[in-house]
Amino acid sequence: MWCYTFDLRHSLSSYNKASRHVIPCKARSLTRFSCGGSSADQEIVIAMGSNVGDRVSTFDRALQMMKSSGPRFLNSAIRGMTRMGPHELLKKLKEIEKDIGRTGGIRYGPRPIDLDILLYGKSQIDSETLIVPHERIHERPFVLAPLVDLLGTSCDDGIETSWHSLSKCSGGFFELWKKLGGESVIGTEGIKRVLPVGNRLLDWSERTLIMGILNLTPDSFSDGGKFQQVEAAISQAKLLISQGADIIDIGAQSTRPFAKRLSPREELERLIPVLDEITKIPEIEGKLLSVDTFYVEVATEAVKRGVHMINDVSGGQLDPRILKVTAELGVPYVIMHMRGDPSTMQSEKNLQYDDVCKEVASELYTQVREAELSGVPLWRIKCGHNNEIIKGLKSIRSEIGKMSIGASHVPILLGPSRKSFLREICNHSNLVDLGPVTISAVTIGIMNGANIVRVHNAGYCAPGAKFYDSLYKGRRWEN
């Protein structure tokens, strides 16, 4: 489901426990295959791992090579249907390993890619070259964790039904996962979910991340026109970083209610001069850049120029091409919940909810699913939420978890900063004066499960996030 980091000493009981060797990124993932062959369709699970070189790029390359062999992506891991026989499938996977650079060697030693068949339909296979189900699946938390994330809890699922019939432990791998510690295992030194972004593996559970807003627009609701000039924009970026921002989110298109929509060309004319300069400043070292856009052309050009992630307020609804292009670009994608577009999102129809949390969760998951089917793996997706449902973030995660355990674990990005609902509550006419109440909204959001907060003034919000993390979650911030 995800990329996982884990310490080999915690995961393989037969390994030399005195060894200091650590595999920093071990992933288990699953996709749908439709390959030629004479046998009937069989649902399969393939494990994927890497511990040398550029591990994230290696994962992407392996997924693309399997895709060229006939897979259709259903999820961020590799879960599939194939007509290949098990040994034919094994041969294909070994060819992929070889093409990527695996040459054999020590069983648990360095290897750029490792592809294992964990499950093959309901079959039990025990030959000299292949054992299915994988003989050690029942004792490996780093294998079970992504399987549980991916397959959910429904026994109607084909692989889950197969596992129930094959598991050496009563109750299948969900019961086995609980016996190994379940979700309490995640976040320990032994195994962590991580998000590949830029040249790092980001563990968003370590602490709350601060996303600083840099609007290059003349008409944004609270700071329109302030940072249109390159010098002013760069100065603001430096200020946000000095205040504690981990991410700078650059937007050249206003998405406030009833905003006039720019063309991709107009948006790029605003964006590129600032982006080219911001990538040169020393302060940006170690920070992440995000582009706030819904246009394919803008996203593509921004990533080419050094942006690490795409923040799409429409979740692919305004330019559906962006989902496939994001998959090709291989960067994280923020899916925001929005009904309609900026000109209609505040209409009476779009503001009607019977059960806000349930409906938002359902609509968000639909968007996440569309992204997955377009080739964006879950390990590159973040969910952004409307500010009106800050107190319902836990319920939203729970509702999404009913549809997909893996999707319920994506990091949540919350953006309440200076929103009009805060002005209405506090009876403030000046949105810039909403710093103190924004801190409250951000803190409540973090308390309810937000992992990233998007704010105009990092100086207000970073200390609040730092204090909450330290006091309630035991997280540590670097000075």
Is there a domain that residue 298 lies in? yes
CA 67/CA 325 separation, integer angstroms: 16
Domain housing 228: 204-473
Q: For residue 102, what pLDDT is reported?
A: 81
Quick one: 49 and 177 in the same domain? yes
Q: Is 59 helix (H, G, I), strand (E, B) or coil?
A: helix
Q: What local confidence, expressed as pLDDT, does residue 322 receive? A: 94
Last residue of a domain, one of 197, 214, 242: 197
Sign of the alpha-carbon torsion through 151, 154, 159, 162: positive
Q: What per-residue confidence (pLDDT) applies to 346?
A: 58
Residues 193 and 314 in one domain: no
What's the CATH number where 383 sits?
Answer: 3.20.20.20
Q: How far apart, in Å, are the Cα atoms of 329 and each of 193, 250, 307, 332, 376?
A: 22, 18, 11, 9, 10
Kindly state whether residues 154 and 272 are assigned to the same domain.
Answer: no
pLDDT of residue 18: 28
Angle between helices 393-403 and 356-373 (to 10 degrees): 50
Helix orientation angle between 158-166 and 172-179, rounded to the nearest 10 degrees: 70
Question: 222 and 186 in one domain?
Answer: no
- Which three-class secondary structure state does DSSP give residue 177? helix
Q: What confidence score (pLDDT) does residue 194 get?
A: 80
What pLDDT shows up at residue 223? Answer: 59
Are 271 and 277 a contacting pair, CB within 8 Å?
Answer: no
The answer to whether residues 163 and 213 belong to one domain is: no
Q: Walk along the chain (479 residues) and give the pLDDT tens digit of each residue.
A: 444 544 332 222 222 222 222 222 223 333 333 333 445 667 777 777 887 788 888 888 887 777 665 543 323 346 677 889 999 999 999 999 888 888 766 565 566 887 888 888 888 899 989 998 877 777 777 777 777 777 664 444 444 444 444 444 435 667 788 888 888 888 765 678 888 887 787 888 888 999 999 999 876 556 555 777 999 999 999 999 999 999 999 999 887 666 678 899 999 999 999 999 999 999 999 999 999 999 999 999 999 999 999 999 888 888 989 999 999 999 999 988 777 665 556 556 666 677 778 888 888 888 888 888 787 877 788 787 555 678 888 888 888 888 888 888 889 999 888 777 777 777 766 666 677 788 888 888 999 989 999 999 899 899 989 888 888 766 555 54
| Residues 169 and 233 grouped into a single domain | no
Instruction: Please say whether the beta carbons of 94 and 84 come within 8 A.
Output: no
Query: What CATH number is given to the structural domain containing 24?
Result: 3.30.70.560
| Residue 449 maps to a domain | yes
Q: Which of 388, 408, 413, 387 is nearest to 397 (CA)?
A: 408
Instruction: State the pTM of this model.
Output: 0.75
Regarding whether 238 and 165 lie in a shared domain, the answer is no
Kindly list the catalytic residues.
419, 454
Residues 152 and 224 placed together within one structural domain of the fold: no
Do 439 and 378 share a structural domain? yes
Domain identity same for 335 and 274? yes
The verdict on residue 111 lying in a domain is yes
Query: What single letter denotes the amino acid at residue 469?
Result: D
Structure tokens of 157? 């699922």
The pLDDT score that the predictor gives to residue 304 is 97
Contacts of residue 326, defined as CB under 8 A and 6 or more positions apart, other chains included, come to: 299, 310, 333, 371, 374, 376, 380
**Domain ends where: 197, 221, 242?**
197
- Report yes or no on 65 lying in a domain: yes
Note the pLDDT of residue 242.
Answer: 96
Specify the number of domains making up the chain: 2
Verify that 101 and 234 share a domain, yes or no. no
Predicted pLDDT at 270: 93
